[in-house]
Chains A and B, each alone.
Chain A
């Protein structure tokens, strides 16, 4: 069975200087039987985890504490993401060159074990735990054996290695490479897993949004939710997951008193109070503007009876436009366009060739025949390589936004779709922080006063 596997890797981990093996945390997204997306959120150092729990000496206690942290982090994720995939330990990251060399030497044995496990699974008499324990990577290094307690007994986990700059062709310092996957008792070695590097989204700075064109309501109800939405949602939750994980780690390991939790409630209450005050103030400003505008138009209706006929229509239209226009968000959009993405695109960094690939000839001549290109395609198919790309966001400019709105109006789209261009989706990670709200509100108020 060949699964289509992709590895999503945060950019911050490329510059990580950890020298020991780390525990990889994130999401496994399997929305279809033939594909597997490994979304790495962050790593947790085994040394760091040990130093946080000086009082817990037993291995089972450490695992129990780890499970509690994982469960707490999982319970805090959006429900849409929880239905598709759960935040969990993904596997191990190996950074030791000697361990990498040992793993490289053992790759042929992994192939044999893969076929053996396949046969054993067909017979149906295989124990999953024994398969995990009999994996060769546990017998190589002491630190790796120590870290294996976090993945021992799990049915799904991966081992990720890093290529040195001399080994990889792309030039990235710590490029991850998926060594093998343990999936439901099977051990699979896959050499051409593409790697996608993404910048971890942060509140108020940037996030990713999969762009959907003006889809009509009838088609939307019958849409089977594509798995890319789950992937993008998981990537947008990486920063939140890390923050919640660290909070739960501190609470669980240090036995923090209860007032810290009350302190989070107070912070939440203060934020809510600020936003409520802001909304009340904005409503007051809107009311004043509406009253002044109504008086202004009434004055004109006294002067001219012709205007009096058109006055109610213009008044209603103008007031509606004033109500509908989200001034704060327009200002934020102009100042920080990164908060309003309009799609994603992939920048191809290069192709990472694997060490087992045979060296290819250097084609210096330009081939113009189509048959020869077909032959070259067949030759390239034998070569083992994996694509390395970076995930980016598209941003709408003013001209693009206006043309999109005009196009929507001309083809008879509903007015609500115009809001989706200016307003971000109501997701928790894009909630506006109260400091930015107050700052933007003050700026807009000053502009209106001029």
Chain B
């Protein structure tokens, strides 16, 4: 049973609670690509139609159509190449946290972290020369790298906050913000 959900143009956050929250707490980030999908397909069809028109009426070479087909495939692969359907965080306070990546093809990749190995969930603001975004990571005992909770999708911070709060509750971590004064 869906309890709480937030949506924007690209992602939908769903807080699933078909089990008691003290046993299992499931959070989903679902990728919304319906509008973009139609736009990409329409663009590809338009390019193919132009190529066919030039070949049939203007006497262009057949290779032009082949190049257009290759361009269409490249365009679809580039814009719709990410096959991830949704990413889920399954929080089991008695066991640990399971990060799941669900692909469109039905394949699921799961990574389980025992609850005792999680030192702290952290929300980090990543700044690049062209953009700025937030990521949610887990600091794991004995590991040199932090584990990204959402590896493929990049949900906004207003969705990440709910997952972060649930992870802090499960791992008994304080919900504190760290500001670098340097």
Listed in ascending order, the chain A residues whose CB lies under 8 Å from chain B are 4, 6, 32, 192, 194, 196, 210-216, 219-220, 223-224, 226-228, 343-346, 348, 350-351, 363, 366-370, 373, 376-377, 380-381, 383, 385-387, 389, 394, 411
Taken together as a complex, chains A and B put the C-alpha atoms of A392 and B111 apart, in Å, by 11
CA distance A344 to B1 in the complex (A): 27
Instruction: Please indicate the chain A residues that have their CB under 8 angstroms from the CB of B116 in the complex.
Output: 32, 226-228
Query: How far is A363 from B2 in the complex, measured between Cα atoms in Å?
Result: 10
Nearest-neighbour CB distance to chain B for A350, whole angstroms, equals: 8
The 3 A-B pairs at the shortest CB distance, nearest first, are namely A345-B110, A387-B23, A373-B3
User: Measured between alpha carbons, how far is A413 from B180 in the docked complex, in Å?
Assistant: 30
Given the interface pairs A215-B144, A226-B117, the reply to whether A373 lies near B20 with Cβ below 8 Å is: no
B37 located at the interface, meaning its Cβ lies under 8 Å from any Cβ of chain A in the complex: no
Mark B1-31 against chain A: 1 for CB-CB distance below 8 A, else 0.
1111100000000010101111110000000
Interface of chain A: mostly helix, strand, loop or mixed: mixed
Give CA–CA (A214, B95) in the complex, Å: 22
**Residues of chain A contacted by B92 (CB below 8 angstroms):** 346, 348, 387, 389
Whether B145 sits at the interface, judged by CB under 8 Å, is yes
Q: Are B90 and A348 in contact (CB under 8 A)?
A: yes
Does B142 make an interface contact (CB < 8 A)?
Answer: yes
| B83 within 8 A of partner (CB) | no
Contacts of A389 in B (CB 8 A): 92, 95
Quick one: CB contact mask for B101-137 with A, threshold 8 Å, 1 for yes? 0000000001110101100000000000000000000
Instruction: Kindly state whether residue B143 has any CB partner on chain A within 8 Å.
Output: yes
- Per a CB cutoff under 8 Å, which of B4, B111, B142 touches A345? B111
Instruction: Please pick, from B23, B95, B144, B147, the residue contacting A219 in the complex, using a CB distance under 8 A.
Output: B144
Task: Kindly identify which residue among A224, A227, A373 contacts B17, using a CB–CB cutoff of 8 Å.
Answer: A373
Chain B residues positioned under 8 Å from A196 (CB to CB):
95
Cα separation A300 to B111 with both chains bound (whole Å): 49
Nearest opposing residue in chain A for B95, CB measure = A346
Q: Are A348's CB and B147's CB within 8 A?
A: no
Residues of A with C-beta under 8 A to B21: 377, 380-381
Residues of B within 8 A of A (CB): 1-5, 15, 17, 19-24, 90, 92, 94-95, 98, 110-112, 114, 116-117, 140-145, 147
Residue on A nearest B5 in the bound complex, by CB: A368
Contact indicator B17/A215 (Cβ below 8 Å): no
Q: Which residues of A contact B94 (CB under 8 A)?
A: 4, 6, 194, 387
Complex contacts, A394 vs chain B, CB 8 Å: 110-111
Indicate if the CB atoms of A226 and B111 lie closer than 8 Å.
no
A351–B20 CB distance below 8 A: yes
**Interfacial chain B residues near A373, Cβ < 8 Å:** 3-4, 15, 17
Expressed in whole angstroms, the Cα–Cα distance for A211 and B90 within the complex equals 18
Is B3 in contact with A351, judged by CB distance below 8 angstroms? Answer: no
Contact status A228-B114, CB under 8 Å: yes
User: Are A216 and B111 CB-contacts (below 8 A) given A194-B23, A370-B4, A373-B3?
Assistant: no
Determine the chain B residues whose CB is within 8 A of the CB of A223 once the complex forms. 141-142
Q: Which residue of A lies closest to B2 (CB)?
A: A366
User: Which residues of A are found within 8 Å of B114, using beta-carbon distances?
Assistant: 210, 226, 228
Q: Which residue of B lies closest to A212 (CB)?
A: B142
**Known contacts A194-B23, A226-B116, A373-B3; is A343 also within 8 Å of B111 by CB?**
yes
State whether B144 touches A380 (Cβ < 8 A).
no
Rounded to whole angstroms, the CA-CA distance of A211 and B4 in the bound complex is 33
C-alpha gap A32/B116 in the complex (Å): 10
Q: What are some 24 contacts across the A-B interface (CB < 8 A)?
A: A4-B94, A194-B94, A213-B140, A213-B147, A214-B143, A215-B143, A215-B144, A220-B142, A223-B141, A226-B116, A228-B114, A343-B110, A343-B112, A346-B92, A348-B90, A348-B92, A366-B1, A369-B4, A373-B3, A381-B20, A381-B22, A385-B23, A387-B92, A387-B94
Residues in B whose Cβ lies below 8 Å from that of A348: 19, 24, 90, 92
Measured in the bound complex, the distance between the Cα atoms of B5 and A366 in whole Å is: 10
- Contact of B20 with A383 in the complex, beta carbons under 8 Å: yes
Which residues of chain B have C-beta atoms less than 8 A from A215's C-beta? 142-144
Q: Is the CB of B20 within 8 A of A346?
A: no
Q: How long is the Cα–Cα vector from A210 to B111 in the complex, in angstroms?
A: 10
Which of chain A's residues have a CB closer than 8 A to the CB of B143?
212-215, 219
* CB-based nearest A residue for B110: A345
CB distance from B113 to the nearest CB of A (A): 9
Which of A32, A346, A383 meets B98, CB within 8 Å?
A346
Please tell me if the beta carbons of A367 and B4 are within 8 angstroms of each other in the complex.
yes
- Shortest Cβ distance from A222 into B: residue: B142
CA separation between A194 and B20, bound complex, in Å? 12
**A376 and B147 contacting across the interface, CB-CB below 8 Å:** no
